């Protein structure tokens, strides 16, 4: 098992030995569940209850309980294959859980309707960039307002009154978000011509312009330099503070997670093994044992 540290790039991709599963199973449902049950129900905007998901007999998620409080930055961490992206895909309706359900603002869903995600107040970004690279940065961000359009297709082509007003409103809102994220100077550039770090920020802008109550960020800092990560973390925190957006964050960089998050859930082999504040997670012996500080040796007896 690879040792892991609280530093940039700290979460490795190496799987853990099968023997750890018995240990993890014994931990699931102890203090982590107790923490969720104590959350003020009126303050919880997103809750997963007993969510399990398998693919061809391979367990991706097992009995996940997770509560997200209004206005917090909630991180989900774990090595590759732990179930993090599967969890985000259940929340956003890409996957239907085999068991359990999702509650959004108190309403229960066996499967969240993906086509109504924006109207439910949820926006998301993806691990891999999903921009329209042949369109300008401004037009990419404007596309984040598509769910608000009420004018007909013909009206949009002809530029009738309602369509014209909607377009002007969308562009004004997009302009404000671009200014907020310090992207106004590249508004007219083709998105595909920007450096990678700026493209990731454009994707954040497109999500924020939808004015979501809940923002799902799937590895928003993957592939960035340390400086770009710090900048992105600052923008995520500012979005929460400025707009009151609740953030659910998947991120491999433990240094970023510890400095940015209000609470952290730790997954491994589809199980939630810990849940709490950064201080709780940093001091949790189960997390230390399973992820962050276990000394190990390779076949030559050298430390890894």
Q: What value does the mean pLDDT take over residues 90-114?
A: 96
3-state secondary structure of 130: coil
Please provide the average confidence, as pLDDT, over all residues in the chain: 82
Structure confidence by residue, pLDDT tens digits, 20-75: 344 334 444 444 444 444 445 679 999 999 999 999 989 999 999 999 999 999 99
Q: Domain spans of the chain?
A: 20-121+212-292
Give alpha helix (H) positions in the chain: 20-27, 31-37, 84-91, 137-142, 153-158, 161-180, 196-208, 226-243, 254-260, 278-283, 285-287
**What distance in Å separates the CA atoms of residue 9 and residue 251, rounded to the nearest whole number?**
10
Distance CA 107, CA 290 (A): 35
Is the per-residue pLDDT at 13 higher than 70?
no
Higher pLDDT, 166 or 299: 166
Band the pLDDT of 250: cuts 50, 70, 90: very high
How many Å apart are CA 94 and CA 255, to the nearest integer? Answer: 29
Domain covering 20-121+212-292, topology: Rossmann fold (3.40.50)
Does the pLDDT at position 230 exceed 90? yes
Q: What pTM was computed for the model?
A: 0.79
102 or 251, which is more confident?
Answer: 102
pLDDT at 286: 79
pLDDT at 78: 85
CA distance linking residue 221 with residue 201, whole number of Å = 9
85-123 exposure pattern, b = at least 16 Cβ within 10 A, e = fewer: bbbbbbbbbebebeebbbbbeeeebeebeeeebbebbbb
Residue-wise pLDDT tens digits, 112-152: 999 899 999 999 998 888 899 999 999 999 999 987 766 55
Dig out the tokens for 157 from the structure.
Answer: 């082509």
> Tens digits of per-residue pLDDT, 170-206?
999 999 999 999 999 999 999 999 999 999 999 999 9
pLDDT of residue 81: 82
What is the rounded distance in angstroms from the CA atom of residue 87 to the CA atom of residue 103? 13
At 252, the pLDDT band (50, 70, 90 cuts) reads: confident
What is the Cβ-side half-sphere exposure of residue 230, based on CA atoms within 13 angstroms? Answer: 5
Measured distance CA(235)–CA(205) in Å, rounded: 10
Q: What length does the chain have?
A: 304
Residue 287: what pLDDT? 80
Question: What's the pLDDT band for 167 if we cut at 50, 70, 90?
Answer: confident
Identify which of 144, 13, 30 has the alpha carbon closest to the alpha carbon of residue 84: 13
Rounded to whole angstroms, the Cα distance separating 52 from 235 reads 33
pLDDT at residue 137, as a whole number: 98
C-alpha torsion 213→219→225→227, nearest 10: 30
Question: Residue 14 carries which DSSP code?
Answer: P
CA 227 to chain centre: 20
């Amino acid at each position: 098992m690879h040792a892991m540290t609280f530093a940039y790039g700290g979460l490795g991709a190496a799987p853990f030995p099968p023997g750890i599963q018995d240990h993890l199973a014994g931990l699931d449902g102890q203090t982590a569940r107790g923490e969720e049950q104590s959350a003020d129900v009126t303050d919880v905007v997103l809750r997963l209850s007993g969510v399990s998901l398998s693919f061809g007999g391979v367990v991706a998620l097992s009995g996940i309980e997770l509560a997200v409080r209004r206005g917090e930055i909630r991180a989900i961490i774990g090595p590759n294959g732990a179930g993090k992206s599967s969890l985000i895909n259940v929340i956003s309706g890409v996957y239907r859980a085999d068991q359990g359900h999702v509650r959004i603002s108190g309403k229960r869903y066996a499967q969240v309707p993906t086509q109504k995600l924006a109207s439910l107040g949820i926006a998301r970004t993806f691990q891999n960039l999903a921009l329209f690279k042949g369109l300008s940065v401004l037009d990419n961000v404007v596309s984040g307002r598509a769910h608000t359009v009420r004018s007909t297709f013909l009206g949009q082509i002809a530029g009738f009154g309602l369509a014209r007003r909607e377009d002007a409103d969308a562009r004004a809102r997009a302009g404000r978000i671009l200014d907020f994220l310090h992207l106004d100077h590249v508004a007219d550039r083709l998105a595909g011509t920007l450096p990678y770090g700026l493209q990731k920020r454009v994707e954040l802008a497109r999500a924020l312009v939808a004015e979501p109550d809940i923002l799902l960020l799937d590895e928003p800092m993957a592939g960035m330099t340390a400086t770009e990560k710090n900048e992105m973390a600052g923008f995520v925190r500012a979005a929460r503070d400025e707009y009151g957006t609740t953030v659910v964050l998947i991120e491999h960089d433990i240094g970023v997670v510890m400095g940015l998050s209000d609470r952290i859930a730790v997954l491994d082999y589809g199980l939630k093994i810990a849940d709490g504040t950064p201080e709780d997670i940093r001091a949790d012996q189960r997390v230390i044992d399973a992820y962050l500080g276990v000394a190990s040796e390779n076949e030559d007896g050298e430390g890894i």
